[in-house]
Chain A
Amino acid sequence: QSALTQPPSASGSPGQSVTISCTGTSSDVGRYSYVSWYQQHPGKAPKLMIYEVTKRPSGVPDRFSGSKSGNTASLTVSGLQAEDEADYYCSSYAGRPYVFGTGTKVTVL
């Protein structure tokens, strides 16, 4: 399985929005509604932010939202805050093997 493609970096000023794309294929992202997004701060374990494309676990701010169109999923962070600066990874169920995205470093300017 090949990794899902994400941009290496994204940035925005506090209060602005940033959107991260996650491009897969018709065998993973395009086929299943099981795209999830994880936030990872340096030296920490990943944290689930979005699951099943659009759903937020309890405790995750509603500034985080997800969507999908065809083979590409997206994570949008609205109203950027300093604590949102982290690495973000998408993941897709692919018929039991799982695949992660290449990761995007989000910088809050």
Chain B
Amino acid sequence: QVQLVQSGAEVKKPGASVKVSCEASGYTFTDYYIHWVRQAPGQGLEWMGWIKPDNGGTTYAQKFQGRVSLARDTSINTAYVEVSRLSSDDTAVYYCARETGGYSDHWGQGTLVTVSS
């Protein structure tokens, strides 16, 4: 069965960077886009960007361009999101999700990133 398993919770200081991983299994990793979505405490879902695992192509939401980087390692079926220059506003649960033709049918369990001094 399709599974997306994310790395564990992180606590970071302001100004630092964080990298969250998303390991895919149960399907051909390179056949589907991976999206990253975050959710601040008590807030809605915010789309961050996507990566095309077969060629590494990316698109970012305008808000995150220059501060967020998406990557993948096809040898281990894993996608990554890295957020730099963290501030308290980046405290959120970060989700990866598999896209199937315009919608996300499988989601990771989420990774809580807490930014605190």
Q: Is the CB of B45 within 8 A of A89?
A: yes
Contact among B47, B50, B102, B107 with A45 in the assembled complex (CB-CB below 8 Å): B107
- Name the CB-closest residue of A to B45: A100
Chain B CB within 10 Å, residue with most, of A3, A36, A97: A97
Q: B63 CB to closest chain A CB, in angstroms?
A: 9
Q: Is the CB of B107 within 8 A of A51?
A: no
- Which residues of the partner chain B approach A45 to less than 8 Å between Cβ atoms? 95, 107-110
Q: B60 CB to closest chain A CB, in angstroms?
A: 9
Q: Is the CB of B59 within 8 A of A34?
A: no
B66 beta carbon closer than 8 Å to chain A: no
Q: Is the CB of B95 within 8 A of A36?
A: no
Closest 8 CB pairs of A and B: A34-B102, A36-B103, A51-B103, A103-B44, A45-B107, A93-B102, A100-B45, A98-B47
User: Secondary structure at chain B's binding surface: helix, strand, loop or mixed?
Assistant: strand
The answer for the CA separation of A1 and B62 in the assembled complex, in Å, is 8
Q: Is the CB of A100 within 8 A of B44?
A: yes
Give chain B's interface residues, CB within 8 Å of chain A: 35, 37, 44-47, 50, 59, 61-62, 95, 97, 100-105, 107-110
Contact among A1, A46, A91, A98 with B107 in the assembled complex (CB-CB below 8 Å): A46
Do A48 and B104 form a contact, CB below 8 Å, given A1-B62, A96-B59, A97-B59?
yes
Contact among A1, A52, A97, A102 with B103 in the assembled complex (CB-CB below 8 Å): A52
Do A102 and B44 form a contact, CB below 8 Å, given A1-B62, A45-B108?
yes
A99 beta carbon closer than 8 Å to chain B: yes
Contact among A38, A52, A57 with B102 in the assembled complex (CB-CB below 8 Å): A52
Q: Is the CB of B44 within 8 A of A3?
A: yes
Q: Is the CB of B102 within 8 A of A46?
A: no
The answer for the CA separation of A4 and B20 in the assembled complex, in Å, is 27
Contact among B50, B59, B100, B103 with A91 in the assembled complex (CB-CB below 8 Å): B103
